[in-house]
Amino acid sequence: MQIEPGETIAYLGLGSNEGDRAAALEQALVALERTPGVRLLRRSTWVETELVGDGPAQGTFLNGVAELATRLAPVALLAICKELERAAGRTLPAARNHPRPLDLDVLAHGSVTIDSRELTVPHREWHRREFVTAPLAELGVDTATWRRWEPPQVLGTAAGLAALTTNWRTGGCSIGLVPTMGALHAGHRSLIDRARRECDRVAVTIFVNPLQFGAGEDLAAYPRGLERDVALCREAGADAVFTPSPEAMYDPGFASRIRVGHAASGMEGAERPEHFEGVATVVAKLLAIARPDRAYFGEKDAQQLAVIRRLVRDLGFPVTVVPCAIVREADGLAMSSRNIYLDAADRVASTVLCRALRRVDAAFVAGERDHGTLVQLARDEIATEPRGVIDYVELRSETDLTELPAGAIAADVAAAGVRMLVAVRFARGPRPVRLLDNLRLGAGCAGDAGADVGAGSDSAAAGTDA
Active-site residue set: 188
For the CB of residue 257, give the shortest distance to ligand AMP in the complex, in Å: 19
| Minimum separation from the CB atom of position 195 to ligand AMP (A) | 11
Residues within the interface to ligand AMP (CB under 6 A): 180-181, 187-188, 190-191, 297-298, 300-301, 324, 326-327, 334-337
8 Å CB contact between 131 and 61: yes
Which of residues 188 and 310 has its CB atom nearest to ligand AMP in the complex? Answer: 188
User: Following DSSP, what letter does each residue of 48-103 receive, concatenated?
Assistant: EEPPPSS-SS-PPEEEEEEEEEE-S-HHHHHHHHHHHHHHTT--SSPPTT---S-E
If the CB atoms of residues 42 and 431 are measured against ligand AMP, the closer one turns out to be: 431
* 409, 415 contact by CB (below 8 A): no
For 406-431, b/e burial (b = at least 16 CB within 10 A) is: eeebeeebbeebbbbbbbbebeeeee
Is 188 or 309 the residue whose CB approaches ligand AMP more closely? 188
CB of 28 to ligand AMP, least distance (A): 47
CA distances from 260 to 17, 115, 280, 301, 330 (A): 59, 37, 7, 16, 35
Shortest separation between residue 136's beta carbon and ligand AMP, angstroms: 42
Closest to ligand AMP by CB, 287 vs 324, is 324
φ, ψ (nearest 5 deg) of residue 341: -75, -15
CB contact set of 203 (below 8 Å; sequence gap of 6+)? 161, 164, 165, 175, 176, 177, 178, 238, 239, 240, 241, 242, 290, 292
Residue placing its CB nearer to ligand AMP in the complex, 191 or 395 = 191
Q: Name the minimum Å distance from CB 110 to ligand AMP.
A: 41
Q: How far is the CB of 70 from ligand AMP (least distance, A)?
A: 46
Question: Smallest distance, Å, CB 314 to ligand AMP?
Answer: 19
When the beta carbons of 71 and 338 are compared against ligand AMP, the nearer one is 338
For residue 277, give every residue at least 6 positions away whose Cβ sits within 8 Å of its Cβ, in sequence order, or none.
Answer: 211, 212, 257, 258, 259, 260, 264
- Contact in structure between 46 and 94 (CB atoms under 8 Å): no
Helix segments in 316-410, DSSP class H: 344-349, 352-365, 371-383
Cβ neighbours of residue 252 closer than 8 Å, sequence gap 6 or more: none
- Residue 320 corresponds to which amino acid? T
Indicate the residue among 32 and 324 with the shorter CB distance to ligand AMP.
324
Among 309, 152, 356, 132, smallest CA distance to 235 is for 152
> What's the distance, Cα to Cα, between the start and end of the chain in Å?
61
